[in-house]
Structure 1
Amino acid sequence: MENDDRLRVGVITSPHGIHGEVNVFPTTDDPQRFKKLKKVYINKKKDTLECEIESVKFFKNMVILKFSGMDDRNEMEKYRQCDLMIDREDAEPLGEDEYFICDLIGLDIIDEADNKIGTLKDVMTSAANDVYVVEKNDGRELLIPAIRDCILETDLEKKTIKVHLLPGL
């Protein structure tokens, strides 16, 4: 399966303990989803390693994972800062008007008259709402709150996000 068919659910931050566990910073909306996963993929530069999940624990804002057959802290050290990926079909179902961030990055941002404003470069998450980071046509950065008043339509087929720019943006 291609990496494009996979979604990032976390980043290994460090080994945990001496028996091969790792601390994972979750990049998913619901860290509890790790309990349902049977396998993940560790992306290490150009290599991808499929790992069966043996156990899942939680501590503060971290997920602690143990992979089958990986029992040495030193072995796990080499996976520090590696992304944890899942197959797209193992992802939680999305609700209406919900999208995976990786599917939005690179979409053209257009105004209500279909004029291109720029390209979506990143999505910042916050407690209140997500914020779209747009690289404008002139190279400057524009921040657009991902709220119904601003995001009018997302069309993955046309690769566009139609927005209404509030005064002051």
Structure 2
Amino acid sequence: MSDRESGGSSRAKGAARARASFGAFVRKPAASAAAASIAPGAESEAALTHVESAETWPDDAVEVGAIVDAYGLKGWVKVAAHADAGHGGDALLSAKRWWLMKGRERKSAAVLQSKPHSDSIVAHLGDSADRDAALALRGCRVHVRRSDFPSLGADEYYWVDLLGLDVVNEAGVALGQVVDMIDNGAHSVLRIEYPATAKDGRAVKGERLIPFVGVYVKTVDRAARQIVVDWEADY
């Protein structure tokens, strides 16, 4: 994930809205880890690999992993996901088309089959018929349309949906904007930047780190692009 969706395997529970669950990616039911595949008879058109350009690249494409190797002899690839297969890696498993970028080259490919394998995800992409074809895809960064992400339950969020949101405290004081998310192993942490002034008068960026747990995070309003927290400006 690059850090667009990186980390993201923790799941923390807080007090907001009765045992709210916060995290970059949330473990889905076991069924989501099963191999996904294109319906029989749909391969002829869907299997095609399409050359893409900046103009045809989806506006909601999110980087979720990278192809690191071939898998087996029949054209399968191995993907290092930016989140575990049981967490945000589900986006790779649910999408029927991946958008691939390598240098300036852009293309998209139908996902004929995909499944978790150890700590990675393996997949058979359209028009990848043998190991040589799979090896040629090494180094491609894999993107998935945000609209293809699995749906989440109440009070569950993908990190990518939190980036750019304004953060205010319960008194309405602006604390800054979410620029990154951090996984400290126990829970997710909001990294917030805000305008500040250095001792010499220069405009600089200040930073706040707020644990993304219910005791501090009170509401997340994606429509209003705002997060309300129990946090003082001088903390």
Q: Distance in 2 between matches of 1:60 and 1:133?
A: 31
Considering only aligned residues, what root-mean-square deviation do their CA atoms show, in Å? 2.8
Aligned to 1:161: 227
- 2:132 counterpart of 1:77: no
Check 1:2–1:114 CA distance in 2 against 1; reply closer, same or farther (3 A cut): farther
Higher RCO, Cα 8 Å, sep 6+? 2
Check 1:165–1:110 CA distance in 2 against 1; reply closer, same or farther (3 A cut): same
* Letter paired with 1:64: V
How many angstroms does 1:123 deviate by? Answer: 1.3
How many angstroms does 1:95 deviate by? Answer: 1.0
SS of residue matched to 1:98: coil
Aligned to 2:22: none
Aligned to 2:209: 143
How many angstroms does 1:60 deviate by? Answer: 2.5
Structure 1 residue ranges (4+ consecutive) displaced by more than 6 angstroms after TM superposition: none
* Letter paired with 1:25: A
Residues 106-152 of structure 1 show CA distances to partners (whole Å, capped at 9, x for unaligned) of 11111111111111011123543211111133223221111111111
How many angstroms does 1:34 deviate by? Answer: 4.5
Residues 68-104 of structure 1 show CA distances to partners (whole Å, capped at 9, x for unaligned) of 212424421352xx1321350x321121122332221
SS of residue matched to 2:224: coil
TM-score, normalization: structure 2? Answer: 0.59
Q: Distance in 2 between matches of 1:69 and 1:110?
A: 49
Aligned to 2:168: 110
Matched positions, count = 164
Q: Distance in 2 between matches of 1:119 and 1:32?
A: 27
Q: Is residue 53–residue 66 contact of structure 1 (8 Å, CA) maintained in 2?
A: yes
Consecutive unaligned residues in structure 2, runs of 5 or more: 1-55, 197-204
How many angstroms does 1:14 deviate by? Answer: 1.3
Check 1:91–1:74 CA distance in 2 against 1; reply closer, same or farther (3 A cut): closer
Consecutive unaligned residues in structure 1, runs of 5 or more: none
Q: Distance in 2 between matches of 1:123 and 1:131?
A: 6
SS of residue matched to 2:167: strand
* Letter paired with 1:15: D
Q: Is residue 12–residue 22 contact of structure 1 (8 Å, CA) maintained in 2?
A: no
How many angstroms does 1:38 deviate by? Answer: 2.6
Deviates more, 1:29-38 or 1:116-125: 29-38
Q: Is residue 90–residue 150 contact of structure 2 (8 Å, CA) maintained in 1?
A: no
TM-score, normalization: structure 1? Answer: 0.78
Aligned to 2:81: 26
Of 90, 94, 111, 1:53 maps to 111
Q: From the CA coordinates, give the structure whose radius of gyration is larger.
A: 2
Structure with the higher fraction of residues in strand conformation: 1
Check 1:109–1:41 CA distance in 2 against 1; reply closer, same or farther (3 A cut): same
How many angstroms does 1:164 deviate by? Answer: 1.0
